[in-house]
Amino acid sequence: MKIVILDGHALNPGDLSYDCLRQFGELTIYDRTDSEEEAIERIGDSEIVLVNKVHITENLLAHCPNIRLICVQATGYNVVDCAACAKRGIPVTNVPTYGTAAVAQFTMALILELCHRVGLHNHDVHTGGWVNANCFTYWLTPQTELVGKTLGIIGFGSIGKAVGRLAKAFGMKVIAYNRSQSEEGRQIGEYVDLDTLLTQSDIVSLHCPLFPETEKIINAESIAKMKDGAMLINTSRGPLVDEQALADALNSGKLRSAAVDVVCHEPMDADCPLLSCKNCIITPHMAWAPVESRQRLLDTVVENIRAFLEGKPQNVVNR
């Protein structure tokens, strides 16, 4: 059995071990793969292919007829042409819940940063701001208390619910928009329609998957419905947001601030409008990065391969 990892550095920059995969066969690891041609060459006659963000296309599949299983080392699997794989009888697996705690924690970190701008004040102190102050205290940005504020969560799956629980611990009211509803969700927050969420929320946080119907769910029209001075958080997928519309809203003051861990093109384009707009915190798609969550991800990939080889594939997204 030949196994190839096409972009192994994303999951494992050196603090984990891929040796756990060698039990299944001959393993080849590439840190990065930059083109389809390179991917085809590297896959060769491999039967199991592991990817994170490398695209698996119809053309690639046609050139690599030995592929039997594709394992996405992430939750999102839009990089894979799942229909083309299904047509060839190739299961595509993902890892659905490894990062729930990490992403929820990071979401709250971004919310708190927007409320207090701790990093900005730390930098100001270290560059002489407090030494030269004429008072025992000062602040450079408005400070916000979360108690009594409304958090609107778009996408109330496992991560959205985890964020809702943390928000409730801060004394926030939680409302949620989701395609389906559950009793578990009702114990955390109130289900509402999208317009109600936009108009009532002090902070809107995105946790929905990227589908054609959710692409640019935050756009000029939806932003216009939001409260003046509201805040936006995106730790889900960059294309959920019309970046120019968000930049315009931040520059005009319609929205007070935003914090995003994802953008439409990653790595980020130099001309991304969010780089030059006001009051936008940007982090480099790192909410999933704690070593604990990445180890869970790798452990699940191992179990996905084992289950496939035993004839009982799990976490298949293209049945």
141 contacts: CB under 8 Å, gap ≥ 6: 116, 117, 120
pLDDT value for 70: 98
How crowded is the C-beta side of 233, counted as CA atoms within 13 Å? 28
pLDDT value for 244: 98
Q: Return the bridge partners of 80, or none.
A: 56
Domains of the chain and CATH, by start: 2-94+292-309 (3.40.50.720), 100-278 (3.40.50.720)
* CA distance linking residue 49 with residue 4, whole number of Å: 5
Catalytic residue among 117, 207, 256, 285: 285
pLDDT value for 16: 98
Helix, strand or coil, per DSSP, at residue 101: helix
Q: Is 37 a catalytic residue?
A: no
b (16+ CB within 10 A) / e for 63-97: ebeebebbbbbbbebebbbbebbeeeebbbbbbeb
Catalytic residue among 237, 256, 294, 296: 237
pLDDT value for 52: 96
What is the pTM (predicted TM-score) of this model? 0.93
Q: Is 285 a catalytic residue?
A: yes
* CA distance linking residue 158 with residue 207, whole number of Å: 9
* CA distance linking residue 186 with residue 299, whole number of Å: 32
pLDDT value for 227: 98
Catalytic residue among 37, 58, 145, 266: 266
Q: Position of tokens 């809203």?
A: 249
- Backbone conformation region of residue 92, classed left if phi is above 0, alpha if psi is from -120 to 50, else beta: beta
Each residue's pLDDT tens digit in the chain (319 positions)? 999 999 999 999 999 999 999 999 999 999 999 999 999 999 999 999 999 999 999 999 999 999 999 999 999 898 999 999 999 999 999 999 999 999 999 999 999 999 999 999 999 999 999 999 999 999 999 999 999 999 999 999 999 999 999 999 999 999 999 999 999 999 999 999 999 999 999 999 999 999 999 999 999 999 999 999 999 999 999 999 999 999 999 999 999 999 999 999 999 999 999 999 999 999 999 999 999 999 999 999 999 999 999 999 999 999 9
Q: Is 117 a catalytic residue?
A: no
